[in-house]
Amino acid sequence: MSLKERITEDMKAAMRARDAERLGTIRLLTAAMKQKEVDERIALDDAAVIGIIDKLIKQRKDSVEAFTKAARQDLADKEAAEIVVLQGYLPARLSPDEIAAEVRAIVAELGAKGPGDMGKVMGAVKSRLAGKADMGQVSAAVKAALAG
């Protein structure tokens, strides 16, 4: 079963269970997937769906931060609950040590030296680690590998 099919089945299950919060989050995700398919006239594969989920999670994290600063804990809690639902669709993430090892291997493969090669390394890293790691951690690992 593809990730897209699993999301659709989970939406049906949430409807049957009358789980409004989970259903709302899954509907947001399916709307984002539909939008991407219509805009780009493509059928999404699992990697593209994972990219959309990562983007939605990043948006939710930014919202939680903003709502917390504005003393709106009720809204921050709602966004945090959506993050939990969305993270359920992501594959297991790599640990920081695994990320650093992958980055070092890619830097060695490309023969990258110094911060000037950051773009080249990030391009290769994104294609290899998309959906498997948080890109914020990946970027920090690339900076560290190129500095040292």
pTM of structure: 0.76
CA-nearest of 135, 142, 141, 139 to 61 is: 135
Q: How deeply is 69 buried, as exposed, middle or buried, from its count of CB atoms within 10 A (0-12, 13-18, 19+)?
A: exposed
**Cα–Cα distance between 6 and 79 in angstroms, integer?**
22
Q: What is the mean pLDDT of the chain?
A: 88
96-147 is a CATH 1.10.10.410 domain: yes
Give the model's pLDDT for residue 13: 96
Domain with residues 3-87, CATH architecture = Orthogonal Bundle (1.10)
**Cα–Cα distance between 100 and 22 in angstroms, integer?**
34
Could you state, in order of their start, the residue ranges of all structural domains in the chain?
3-87, 96-147
Give the model's pLDDT for residue 12: 96
pLDDT digits (tens, 9 = 90+) for 77-131: 999 999 999 999 988 888 888 888 888 888 888 777 777 777 887 888 887 777 7
Tokens coding 75: 């809204």
pLDDT at 148 over 70: no
